[in-house]
Amino acid sequence: MTKKDAKAIDAFVDYLRVERGYSAHTLRAYRHEVERLAESDDCERARGLDQMDSLALRSYLASFHRQHRASTRNRRLSALRAFYQFRLRTDVIARDPSEGIPSPKQERRLPSPLSPTECEALIESKDENRVPMLQLRDRALFDFLYSTGLRVGELVPLDVRDIDTHRSEVRVRGKGDKERVVPLPRQARASLDDYLGARPQAGILAEPLFLNARGGRLTDRGVRTLLRRRLLVAGVKRSASPHSLRHSYATHLLDADVDLRSIQELLGHERLSTTQRYTHISAERLARVYRQTHPRAKGE
């Protein structure tokens, strides 16, 4: 990678952080994709990122066609589009080489939520190999994730002072640096109180809400690692990610007849269409509504 390309990538990431308010996770992902392009043979032949044309970029993207799913290729193209739109907007290049490149068609994959029973087991299980403080943290962590539906990228930056103990609410900074308030249910609040009460109280309001075993802020990777361990301890015999808990939160609200607009607000979705994906996975709710309302189904 040339020094010029490295400076261009730094300027792009600074723009995403300052002007667009992207999360640290998204910034890393976008940087990685543009750096990957800058280090490719196609970019070397073009003599730099700003010299790439549409044919060279298509050649680069085609090299991943058989290796990755359409969703991965779409994320890659989105990052590169954002980079070249930034370069075009700042008058560094005269034409966006990503213009006209179609997004790969991707299969519609329905979210796979955990059942209420599995979520309960995840929260209530005890890892006897953990020291008491980490047992309290793990229970509070997964009770909190399932009870609030936060993205893992919204969870890890939280500090203790982001919790309003009087109103049982948590103030969250979501995508695009947008702020919202999410209710914290009683049981999750109790788990969190037990964990925070066991920590030293001096200066705790300014500390991260969830700490790792060394006393630093828990990272998104750390949460994923803890979840894999917790699934084994709970005897949940399938894989799940922190986002699975978010899907579970939304699905179980929908099954309890919470309206879609309210779920949209709780999840921090900008568009209702994003939230509507959850309607496809709530067959139980649809069946219940059918039995309760259709004249030919009443009494079943």
Concatenate the DSSP letters of all residues of 133-156 into one string: HHHHHHHHHHHHHHHH---HHHHT
Q: Pick the catalytic residue: 130, 243, 277, 285?
A: 243
- Within 8 A by CB and 6+ apart from 270, the residues are 175, 176
Q: 205 by DSSP, 3-state: which?
A: helix
Q: Pick the catalytic residue: 87, 139, 189, 246?
A: 246
Question: ∠ CA 193-155-124 to the nearest 5 degrees?
Answer: 50
C-beta of residue 143 within 8 angstroms of C-beta of residue 188 = yes
89 is catalytic: no
* The pair of three-digit structure tokens given for residue 183, joined into one six-digit string: 């209710």
Question: ∠ CA 209-123-216 to the nearest 5 degrees?
Answer: 25
C-beta of residue 263 within 8 angstroms of C-beta of residue 132 = no
269 is catalytic: yes
The closest of 8, 26, 4 to 17, measured between CA atoms, is: 26
Q: Pick the catalytic residue: 22, 30, 146, 278?
A: 278
Q: Pick the catalytic residue: 151, 230, 247, 252?
A: 151
230 is catalytic: no
278 is catalytic: yes
Q: Pick the catalytic residue: 25, 31, 175, 180?
A: 175
Which residues are marked as active site? Answer: 151, 175, 243, 246, 269, 278
